[in-house]
Amino acid sequence: MPGPYVGGCVCGALRYEFITEPTTVYICHCTECQKVSSSAFGMSVRVSADDFNITQGESKSVETVADSGRTKNGLFCPECGTRICSKPAVGDLVIVKAGTLDNPNWFKPIAHIWTRSAQSWFPFADGLPKFEQAPENIDELSRLWITYATGAGQS
């Protein structure tokens, strides 16, 4: 499905969009994603920072230290507290939180990362590649995206 891809926070004050296809989509089991989602994992949609725009409302930003030790800025709605995305300190990227998309079925993940902190009940029944931590080379997830996107029913 072609863009624009749109989404926003729970209360509706903050809205965003991006036009082009993400460069990868994955499940993150790091402890920060567990806290931010207040659930078992986060689903990350990686898009180019140039392509990501807040179309309504003002986001607030909070800096956190990821499990990798790197800092990143999380953008959230000051009214309802939903985190819509984060901006890593390295790379011109925005990591959109897939659950905030108007249609979370737009994208399917291609890997699991930070599985060492995955909740112990999680079944990993999908056969996707798993990484104990984040892959050393961030392009690895983009490579998997290209591999799985062909023939995985993504359009």
Which positions touch Zn ion (CB under 5 A)? 9, 11, 13, 28, 30, 33, 77, 79-80
Report whether 17 contacts 100 (CB < 8 A). Answer: no
**Alpha helices in 29-138, H assignment, sequence order:** 31-37
Dihedral angle of Cα 72, 137, 147, 26, to the nearest 10 degrees:
-30
Q: How far is the CB of 39 from Zn ion (least distance, A)?
A: 12
Nearer to Zn ion, 28 or 98 (CB): 28
Nearer to Zn ion, 9 or 144 (CB): 9
Q: How far is the CB of 1 from Zn ion (least distance, A)?
A: 25
Termini Cα distance of the chain: 5
Nearer to Zn ion, 11 or 40 (CB): 11
